[in-house]
C-alpha cells in the first residue's frame, strides 16, 4: 500500500536500491560473481594463495585458493567466504547499518530503466537538473494519493506523459538519463515535491495553469 511506502520514506527518506558490491557485504561461494570477487582474488593473489586471473568469477581456482587460505588460517575448510574469512583477510566487515541506503523501498533496477526512458523521451534536450526534475515528479506522483502507486503505473497512465503517447519513450536512453534517474531515486528533488510540469508553449490543458508554480527549468514549468 501507498501508506506503507510513504511511512518508510518519511522515516529515512531512502529511495535507492542499486546494490553495493564491496568485499565484505555478502557471503561469497562457488558461482558468485562481481567486483567483490575480484577484490577477493586480488587479496588471495597478493598473498600467494591464488594464481588465476582476476575475472570476478568464483570458480574452481578461487575455491581451491579459499580452501587453502582457510586451512592455513585454522578456519573451517568449506570454501565459503563468510565473516570469519573476511576477518582473517583483514576486510572490515561493513556494519549492517552502513547498508541502509539499499533498504526500504520497492523501486527496482528495472524501475530505474523505466525512469531513464521517461527522462530521455520527455526531457533529453533539457538541462541536467531539468531531467532529474522530471524523474522527481514521477516519483512524487508514486507517493501521492492522487496518482497510481507504482513507477510504471504513473508513467503509463493514459495521456499523462507525451513521450509515452508519441512513442519517444521507446528510444534508447543515454547514460545521462540513467544518472538523472539514479539521482532522483537517491533522493535529489530540484522541484521540492512538485506533482506536475508542462511546457507552456505546447500545453493544451488550461487547468494546469491553476496550480501553484514552484520553479521553471529550461522549457518546463514545475507545479505543486
Partner 1 sequence: MKYRTLIIWLMINVIVLGIGSYFYTQNQQAMEDLKIRTEGMYQQSFHSLISHIKTIENYLAKSLVATDLINQQEIMSTITRQVYSSQEELGKLPLILVPLINTETTLQKIADFAWQVNTKNLKQESSLTSPEWTTLVDLKQCTSKLLLNLQNIQSNIIENNLRWVDIELMYSRNEVADNTVIDGLHLVDKDVKAYSETQAGILPHVREPKVYYNSDQLIDERTARNEAAGYLGKLNLEVGEPVQVIQSEGDIPAYVVFFDNGVNQYTCAVTKAAGSLAWFMGDSILTGRQLTNEEAINLANEYLNRLNFQNVTLVGHNTNDNAIMLMYAGFQDDTVVYPEMLRLNVNLNTGIITGADFSEYLKYHHQRTVTEASLAESDIVDQLPKNSVINNIQKAIIFNQQGQEVLTFEVAVSIAGENYLIYLNADTGIEENIIRIESKT
Provide DSSP, 106-162. Answer: ---HHHHHHHHHHHHHHHTTS-HHHHHHHHHHHHHHHTSTTS-SSHHHHHTSTTT-H
List the x/- string, 174-193, binding to partner 1 by CB under 8 A: -xx--x--xx--xxxxxxxx
Is residue 98 a contact point for partner 1 (CB under 8 A)? yes
Tell me the three cell numbers of residue 77.
Answer: 575448510
Of 95, 125, 172, 201, which one interacts with partner 1 (CB under 8 A)?
95
Q: Map the footprint of partner 1 across residues 9-28, applying CB under 8 A.
A: 10-14, 16-22, 25-26
124: contact with partner 1 by CB under 8 A: no
Q: Given candidates 55, 76, 103, 200, which one binds partner 1 under the rule CB under 8 A?
A: 103
In angstroms, give the least distance from the CB of 59 to partner 1: 19
- Within 10 angstroms of residue 20's Cβ, the number of other Cβ atoms is 13
Considering only 48-56, 61-69, 114-122, 123-131, which stretch makes contact with partner 1 by CB under 8 A? Answer: 123-131
Instruction: Name which of residues 145 to 164 contact partner 1 (CB under 8 A).
Output: 145-149, 153-154, 157-160
Contact 139, 151 (CB under 8 A): yes
The three cell numbers locating residue 140: 512524487
By CB under 8 A, residue 42 contacts partner 1:
no
Q: Is 68 in the site for partner 1 (CB under 8 A)?
A: no
Q: Give the alpha-carbon dihedral of 153, 163, 220, 155, to 10 degrees.
A: 10
41 binds partner 1 (CB under 8 A): no
Alpha carbon distance 191, 179 (integer Å): 17
Nearer to partner 1, 15 or 62 (CB): 15
Task: Give the nearest distance from C-beta 64 to partner 1 in angstroms.
Answer: 24
Cross-strand bridge partners of residue 220:
217
For residue 77, the minimal CB distance to partner 1 (Å) is 22
How far is 17 from 86, CA to CA, in rounded Å?
A: 24
Q: What distance lies between CA 160 and its chain's CA centroid?
A: 24
Among 30, 47, 53, 100, binds partner 1 (CB under 8 A): 100
Q: Which is nearer to partner 1, 23 or 66 (CB)?
A: 23
C-alpha 135/C-alpha 119 separation (Å) is 6
Amino acid at each position: 500500500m501507498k501508506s506503507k511506502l510513504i511511512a518508510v520514506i518519511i522515516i529515512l527518506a531512502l529511495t535507492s536500491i542499486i546494490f553495493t558490491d564491496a568485499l565484505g557485504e555478502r557471503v561469497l561461494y562457488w558461482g558468485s560473481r562481481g567486483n567483490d570477487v575480484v577484490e577477493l582474488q586480488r587479496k588471495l593473489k597478493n598473498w600467494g594463495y591464488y594464481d588465476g586471473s582476476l575475472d570476478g568469477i568464483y570458480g574452481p581456482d578461487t575455491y581451491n585458493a579459499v580452501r587453502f587460505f582457510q586451512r592455513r588460517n585454522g578456519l573451517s575448510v568449506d570454501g565459503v567466504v563468510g565473516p570469519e574469512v573476511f576477518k582473517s583477510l583483514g576486510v572490515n566487515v561493513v556494519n549492517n547499518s552502513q547498508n541502509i541506503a539499499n533498504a526500504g523501498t520497492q523501486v527496482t533496477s528495472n524501475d530505474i530503466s523505466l525512469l531513464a526512458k521517461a527522462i530521455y523521451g520527455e526531457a533529453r534536450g533539457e538541462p541536467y537538473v531539468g531531467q532529474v526534475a522530471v524523474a522527481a515528479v514521477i516519483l512524487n506522483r508514486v507517493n501521492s494519493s492522487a496518482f497510481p502507486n507504482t513507477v510504471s503505473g504513473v508513467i503509463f497512465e493514459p495521456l499523462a506523459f507525451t513521450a509515452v503517447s508519441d512513442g519517444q519513450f521507446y528510444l534508447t536512453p543515454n547514460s545521462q538519463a540513467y544518472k538523472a534517474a539514479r539521482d532522483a531515486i537517491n533522493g535529489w528533488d530540484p522541484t521540492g515535491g512538485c506533482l506536475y510540469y508542462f511546457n507552456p508553449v505546447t500545453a493544451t490543458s488550461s487547468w494546469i495553469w491553476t496550480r501553484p508554480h514552484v520553479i521553471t527549468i529550461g522549457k518546463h514549468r514545475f507545479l505543486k
